[in-house]
Chains A and B, each alone.
Chain A
């Protein structure tokens, strides 16, 4: 479920000036849809449509004139279908939809197309418009960006977004390992003798990242210093070449946070296939021609293997669901104090996968909506828990069709991909800890 916008009321800051109501009334040319009233005894209270998740006003409408929009979450009203029965007002516990005698029909807040007039008019900070982005901004904007401006990631790459978010949260008391891959390639480890990061960052071999980080962490522990050690690795440095040391460190329970940013191949060196490259993908080493039809085997699914290591925490994430990622990052950081924490974040690559740079977030979303990517977390005690339902996926073809590296695929290939997606979901479902009653 995508996070949706909301208007927050902070009663301590409200002085009852009524500017919000005047602004609403002016913007809408009718009675104000937000209502600030004197509180009981003291202070001020507010009535406004809450854009409910399961709106009673909609259920009460005999005319189909009210509808909850699946994307924006806004409960919309249709003047054409409304019959002025006002039964919707019986459903609302918030005073959020009311009859407006001047307009001659019911009125409700429509969030002013994303820029609510009431919020703009409030000079006291008593009303706040919180979008998903605004919520993230509120939490993270004041934190220091740990990378220099102007990293040279390809246009549309979500890895830069991801590492900036991650290191803002982790902060200065940290050491970063960036093994060969796109992340050091975009300049995080530096150019011309200058570093690209404000925290110590080093460039281990593809093969020894987790081992080096484990050792560094132990040395700091020995000196009594609490430092977060983080790997920002690609799939090559985790799934393929880096796997042996990763597996060993996980097995030993090194207190490391290992983040694999998975773009399903060696994308910065010329788009060669990796163990993570999925079936049917075109890469420069799995070409498409008279004989070749892209990669002929399925990708290796590392997150599942990491569960098998009994890591303190394992989770998958997508940058289309940043709220979900941040929640998992918090848990992973906490878990990395006691043992090995592994985050697997999917990074569709516009350059190597051949899709328009502006579509990355949409591609990420489609991956998740089709179950091509599933969002879950795992701890040894609680087993696997999906953080987004997998019950009603879109057909995987909806995702595959967006991506150039799959454009040669025949219907039979699509069927095979769909079958392996379905099989993986089933397998993952088996890792859930079932309640005793079930």
Chain B
């Protein structure tokens, strides 16, 4: 049983937590700073896990921050510390092992956990998930002996995993209830281009199907809503995630889908901040609080939370999350920034070109609101800022539509000079 006190207590050790830690130390070199991680491993990114499954990343070479980094930053990393309760009145958190930490300022950066759909016969132990390093190592080990794999979910993690398992020589089937892959990022045409690539590499893509029944393990027999029957030696459920808010049960910290935060990542409770996949902050285009569950947004939010916790006056409040991702698959590459899947109409203009790669540009009032590209180089970081700054593209409209890379670079170079 420990009872210890930190000026800054960070719960969670991935991108948001790491960024917050660095931001705090930029402003306050002294105050005691402690990071609690439920993991037994050094901090890593969930994004790296498919690469651990494939063997491209060695498990001992994926640390986002090593012991020396914590020492340099005069911060303490406590591993194996799972927080199960937050008590804002006592300004304390309680750990699963009975330990207790008190704090002046608390950041909840607990990330997300796998959301497993409720399906008859689908029981713990009968399937894999992929959110932690241990999950990845388990999939990797199991894949070595399995012949047939079913991946439930065609989001980024699901597709990464499907590719990895296919490359490892397994028969892979992807089951997705939405009509196409990566529905949160890409329009149907772009998704089809991605999906076709998987089919060309021997992956069976069952889109728009729902898993209804599961039974047994090795093999696990699966029944889909259209009557299809599948057998899987290895079943991987990657059908989405949900914010890890269990530790707030019974606490006054307001949650909806995730922990509700304002533009400075403050929760409704004084002294508590939240950032990253667990936080629900404003969406830039919708103006409504949403989960902005991407790595760059976790970085952004973590930075803001850390700056606010340390009282850094240079803080620029969160402008709202913009969906964005980059994706490499079978040697090809795809980018989606903003509302790239928006349909034509209601003020939105869609310009699609195919030839020199696929590119779909969505404008509204001559301002960029989304862009998706496959096998075509664009600077996603610049596009993100064009959306965020609502840059008027009227003077360069035609050039932007035909040459988004060069035009965006010219706009940005002119802008920062």
Interface residues of chain A, those whose CB is within 8 Å of chain B, are: 9, 11, 35, 37-41, 45-47, 56, 59-60, 62-64, 81, 83-87, 89-95, 98-101, 104, 391-392
Contact = CB atoms under 8 A, between A and B. Distances in A.
Given A47-B412, A63-B62, A86-B328, A95 B379 contact: yes
A99 to B, nearest CB: 6
B255 interface: no
Interface residues of B, number: 49
B296 A90 contact: yes
A98 B328 contact: no
Given A37-B409, A40-B410, A89 B15 contact: no
26 contacts: A9-B413, A9-B417, A11-B417, A40-B407, A47-B412, A47-B413, A60-B296, A62-B46, A62-B48, A63-B45, A63-B57, A83-B51, A85-B326, A85-B328, A86-B327, A87-B296, A89-B379, A90-B381, A90-B384, A93-B412, A93-B416, A94-B382, A98-B379, A100-B377, A101-B375, A391-B29
A91 B384 CA distance: 9
Contacts of B379: 47, 89, 92, 95, 98
Interface in B17-31: 19, 29
A101 B57 contact: no
A90 B64 contact: no
Given A39-B414, A47-B412, A60-B299, A101 B406 contact: no
Contacts of A59: 15, 19, 299, 303
B384 A45 contact: no
**Closest CB pairs A-B (n = 7):** A62-B45, A45-B413, A86-B326, A62-B47, A92-B381, A47-B409, A37-B406
Given A56-B299, A86-B335, A94 B416 contact: yes
B395 interface: yes
Interface string B256-295: 0000000000000000000000000000000000000001
A173 B416 CA distance: 41
A389 to B, nearest CB: 9
Interface in B57-88: 57, 61-64
Given A45-B413, A45-B414, A93-B381, 15 more contacts: A37-B410, A37-B413, A39-B410, A47-B412, A60-B295, A60-B299, A62-B295, A64-B64, A86-B328, A86-B335, A87-B326, A91-B381, A93-B416, A101-B377, A104-B331
Given A89-B326, A391-B29, A83 B381 contact: no
Interface of B: 15, 19, 29, 44-48, 51, 56-57, 61-64, 295-296, 299, 303, 324-328, 331, 333, 335, 337, 375, 377, 379-382, 384-385, 395-396, 406-414, 416-417
Contacts of B384: 90
A81 B303 CA distance: 24
Nearest to B65: A64
Contacts of B377: 98-101
A392 B410 contact: no
Contacts of A38: 406, 410
Contacts of B48: 62-63, 83
B48 to A, nearest CB: 5
Contacts, number: 129
Contacts of A63: 45, 48, 51, 57, 62
Given A101-B377, A392-B29, A40 B47 contact: no
Contacts of A104: 331
B272 to A, nearest CB: 23
A188 B379 CA distance: 58
B69 to A, nearest CB: 10
Contacts of B417: 9, 11, 45
B49 to A, nearest CB: 9
A422 to B, nearest CB: 15
A99 B377 CA distance: 7
Contacts of A81: 57, 61
B47 A84 contact: no
B297 to A, nearest CB: 10
Nearest to B396: A40
B337 to A, nearest CB: 8
A14 to B, nearest CB: 11
Contacts of B333: 84, 86, 99, 101
B335 to A, nearest CB: 7
B283 to A, nearest CB: 17
Given A87-B296, A391-B29, A95 B409 contact: yes
A87 B295 contact: yes
Given A60-B299, A62-B48, A84 B328 contact: yes
Contacts of B63: 64
Nearest to A84: B328
B412 A94 contact: yes
Contacts of B331: 104
A63 B52 CA distance: 10
Contact of A56 (B56, B64, B381, B412): B381
A211 B409 CA distance: 61
A9 to B, nearest CB: 8
Contacts of A94: 381-382, 412-413, 416
Contacts of A64: 61-64
A64 B61 CA distance: 8
A70 B290 CA distance: 37
B299 A83 contact: no
Contacts of B327: 85-86
A93 B385 contact: yes
A90 B380 contact: yes
Nearest to B408: A95
B57 A83 contact: yes
Nearest to A37: B406
Contacts of B64: 62, 64
A272 to B, nearest CB: 41
Nearest to B331: A104
A90 B303 CA distance: 16
B360 to A, nearest CB: 18
Given A87-B47, A95-B379, A95-B409, A41 B56 contact: no
Given A62-B64, A63-B57, A91 B45 contact: no
A81 B64 CA distance: 12
B395 A40 contact: yes
Contacts of A101: 333, 375, 377
A47 to B, nearest CB: 4
Contacts of B51: 63, 83
A62 B47 CA distance: 6
Nearest to B54: A83
A1 to B, nearest CB: 13
Contacts of A90: 296, 324-326, 337, 380-381, 384
Contacts of A85: 47, 326-328
Nearest to A57: B381
Contacts of A95: 379, 381-382, 408-409, 412-413
A35 B64 CA distance: 31
Nearest to A47: B409
